[in-house]
Chain A
Amino acid sequence: MVKVKVNDIEIDADSKDNCILAARKAGVEIPHYCWHECLSVVASCRMCLVEVGETKPDGTVAMGPKLVPGCQTPIKEGTVIRTDSAKVKTSQQMTLELLLLNHPLDCSICDQAGECYLQDYTYKYGKAQSRLDEPKLQRMDKYHIGDQIALFTDRCVMCTRCVRFTREISGTAELQVVSRGSHEEIDVFPDEPCNNKLAGNVVDLCPVGALCSKDFLYKKRVWWLKHGESVCTGCSTGCSIHVDQNENKVYRVRPRENPEAQGHFMCDDGRFGFKYIHDERRLKYPKVLKGPEKVSAKGAKEGIPDDLSFGDAWPSVMSETRKRIQNAIHNDPSGFVAVFSPFMTVEEAYLLASTIKGFDARTRLVLGPVPVVGQDDLYPKGPKGESPAAGKVKFTIRAEKCPNRLGVEAVLKHFEGSVVRVESMPASAASAWYVVGGYGSGWVTEAVDRAIGTPSLLIVQDMFPSPLSERADIVLASGSFAERDGTYVNHAGLAQAAHAAIRPPEEARADGRILMELAGRTGLFNAMSLRKEIGAKVGELSAIGIGDLGEHGVRLTKFALAAGR
């Protein structure tokens, strides 16, 4: 730790910080474009020029004669940074005027408007008018730059963050600078678009509206978006994400910086893979399909058409569900099996496990399929696409395509003693099943189908119709990741809290709410109070007992010890 003074504010900064980071700790913003924490320093945008001086042993301050780039300049004990002098302000104004010289100022049709650093910095540090009297340079937009990304060439400020990202983080090096001087442009080689699995990150890295996501393009003005803090459920890396929604529709998913989980980035599978949550085929109503008391979609009893009914099916469906489970367990306790999905949150798994075991300890709890696709995908790639050496890995897309195997297993171990996989069970292994899905795509494998067979009671809690829901006695329409509150434990034992960003469609309900009712608990589903309860009861999950896991999450004790923390 070193003492640094930023505009007369004295702070303790890390000696490894540059001026931008040190100033940030003092609450002072040093505007910058090219610098990014995860990328190499190029100091080329010259937006972060500040005055830097040092404190002499006799206490006097000697300011350097030059303006220096805050990104490139290290700090030491006694460094003095000034960002508010006339010299700095003039330089900032001029740099912005220069950056805007050939910028089309097409904010009104630009996707970035509202979260654009050209707008923000010009408002804060620039001046209102340009003195350019000549025509601006006009350049062709490049929609071909990637399958998911488009380049609006004339909006580019040549910070080269995108170029450095593909060279340093993805290692795929598709993007480059072509031409020279004010004619410079970002480009790709002909027919070699930027389609690596991390390509979407360049859109986030772009501080202006040059690189845009084709998926999000012209879909929504960003100031209408509300940002839910959640966790990507695409793989066991568990990237922290923002779920950006408006009026209950998710428009995009962006990485949320989390040094404990994935860092600054996320993969395109996660970024663009959320579309299933708005799929028309989703289960939207609970239904009792078989048995003496059938209840249809909108709560109408047999014989009354759906559209004439304004009733809510859930109270009658849930009381029917509870009744049938109790009956089944009463008749054959060890013939009752609950299947837990690795897409469930810890809270959901705990509620289901404690409820079922509460009915009878002889019931069985098993783990559903854990999807694994290929090998872990490591970045940055080498020149021939090879994986980086150990210790040089900057991003990993994991083969295990679910968010919470570890968390669900911890619950199962606590209640069942061991983790049994449903696929390993014999055909028609039990007489009554409570099966939880929640997978983004088809998950009922042959082995699962065979193990479950056609039992006397089948209750399916899932998002999508499946062979199981077709023959189920009761279907409980549940929620997607964007609709859930709860905790996921990633591959490294990091427990992160996800918060619901939207409501489930129509009459579907988030799993936590369904299970609260199944458990017969009163009150609303509250992840934080449940975490406190789980932390107190499930030893392996004691770390989440603090309730509030913060932005970055907490590491389970076992993993924290292993990591030496």
Chain B
Amino acid sequence: MSQTEFKPVLLGRVGKPDSQSLASYRADGGYEALAKALKMTNTEVIDVVKNSGLRGRGGAGFPTGLKWTFLPKDITGPVYLCVNGDESEPGTFNNRVLIEEDPHQVLEGIVISSFATRTTTAYFYLRYEYGKCYRALKQAIDEMYANNLLGKNILGSGYDLDIYLHRGACAYICGEETGLIESLEGKRAWPRIKPPFPAIEGAFRRPTVVNNVETMACIPHILKHGPEWFQSMGIPKDPNNPRDAGSYGPKLYCISGHVNKPGLVELPMGVTARELIDKHAGGVWKGRTAKAVIPGGLSMGFMTNAELDTPLDFNGPGRVGCLGLGTAAVVVIDDHTSMVDVLYNSCRFYAHESCGQCTPCREGTAWSTKILERIRQGKGKLSDIDLLMEISNSIGVMPGTTICGLADGAAWPIKTAINKYRSEFEEYIKSGRRSESAALAHSH
């Protein structure tokens, strides 16, 4: 299948009239996958998902089926599924489109996944700002209860499930799976120390699976079309790397920044950044060229123009010094933009969002912001560049320094910006120039 002919799977129903309604979803074959799954055993469903090679779409890319098998065997008492709809990685909006336009697709995935994990209570954790999503989901869930798709004895199968829709309170850290669980429990969203991992002790101290919204949306299609169909898309396993699990299936790429046509496109895993920008986003705006591209949400760091032919699969960005694919949210930065300003904005975000639990992240994110702020006021020193590198190394690049990945996310933009654009930082500092936007900067 060539990519130009690719027919969207997850976005297939987006844009249709009344795409949010149960009737229209059913008319397009909705809930057939659920009916099929309910006739299987739960372990058979897990095997199908496992065989499909589906990897979590939330950012870390952990194999979904494998995650489900980490739940303790022969468990008595409740198991929970938490759906992570706290989409807050800068540049990312695929969950939002999926929920707003086609909530039943996600919900069908949730019911199937709950069945597979023997969950009878699922929590949908939705970021507060997504009001339209909330209303769409609420209506869809009501419709499902009314049509025996939720509640007791779903579709006569004897399987019971309740879904609780939980609105978060606007914090980036709630997207971290254990931060999400703490927040769900009504506590301050401070990520937990692991072990125990959520699969052993998660929400309300019970075994818990946390999955992303897009991951859930993939599930009905895998059940319907089979693992082989899913593996026909994307980049196969690297035979030279035994730890590579492959990058299969369709993927939603969010494109934003300095492009002519920002938006969400669905393509088989592995499209290059250059193709995404030129072909699907109408190229860089104002006839300029891209100076830097964020491959998958801010936390992944920056790719240079020369690195744009990197395929955006789970392994590609890592090969050019980025953290990974992340959420596949591509942000384009044109050649008129100062990387000092970009990095300052990045650091400001993480300093604002650091939950403040671990010392390196709490202090390091704020410190790096202060340094960049000073550089932008024309008071930088060349030694600041190495200091920024040292801070980024000690808060996140060097593994193990903090409880969760937020600090890594803060560190990689610093590391990649300075590694790849060092001369720009040096010139900026030497020139003693003051950033135009520095005067407007929100002071920390």
Task: List the interface of chain A (C-beta within 8 A of B).
Answer: 41-47, 49, 65-69, 72, 90-91, 94-95, 98-99, 101-102, 131-134, 137, 157-158, 177, 179-184
Contact = CB atoms under 8 A, between A and B. Distances in A.
A189 B387 CA distance: 39
B385 to A, nearest CB: 13
B356 interface: yes
Nearest to B370: A134
A321 to B, nearest CB: 64
Interface stretch (B294-302, B347-355, B421-429): B347-355
A interface: dominant SS: loop
Contacts of B401: 46, 49, 67, 91
A489 B426 CA distance: 72
Contact of B403 (A44, A65, A94): A44
Given A43-B403, A44-B403, A95-B360, A180 B171 contact: yes
8 contacts: A43-B403, A46-B402, A49-B401, A91-B401, A94-B394, A134-B371, A134-B373, A181-B352
A44 B356 CA distance: 9
Centre residue among A41, A68, A95, A98 by max chain B CB count within 10 A: A98
Interface string B366-377: 110011011000
Contacts of B353: 180-181
A182 B171 contact: no
Given A46-B402, A66-B399, A134-B374, A101 B356 contact: no
B64 interface: no
Contacts of B364: 98
A99 B403 contact: no
Interface in B186-205: 188, 190, 193
A45 B370 CA distance: 22
B434 to A, nearest CB: 16
Nearest to B444: A182
B371 A46 contact: no
Interface of B: 171, 188, 190, 193, 351-360, 362-367, 370-371, 373-374, 381, 387, 390, 394, 398-403
A103 to B, nearest CB: 10
Contacts of A183: 356
Contact of B365 (A44, A45, A181): A181
Nearest to B193: A43
Contacts of A68: 400
A183 B355 CA distance: 10
B354 A180 contact: yes
A98 B367 contact: yes
B237 to A, nearest CB: 23
Contacts of A67: 398-401
Contacts of B394: 90-91, 94-95, 98
Given A182-B351, A182-B363, 15 more contacts: A44-B190, A46-B402, A49-B401, A94-B390, A98-B364, A101-B363, A134-B367, A134-B371, A158-B359, A181-B352, A181-B354, A181-B356, A181-B362, A181-B366, A182-B356
B360 A98 contact: yes
A180 B355 contact: yes
B400 A66 contact: yes
A181 B371 contact: no
A45 B359 contact: yes
B400 A158 contact: no
A159 to B, nearest CB: 9
A44 B399 CA distance: 15
Contacts of A99: 359, 363
Contacts of A132: 367, 370
Contacts of B357: 42, 44, 158
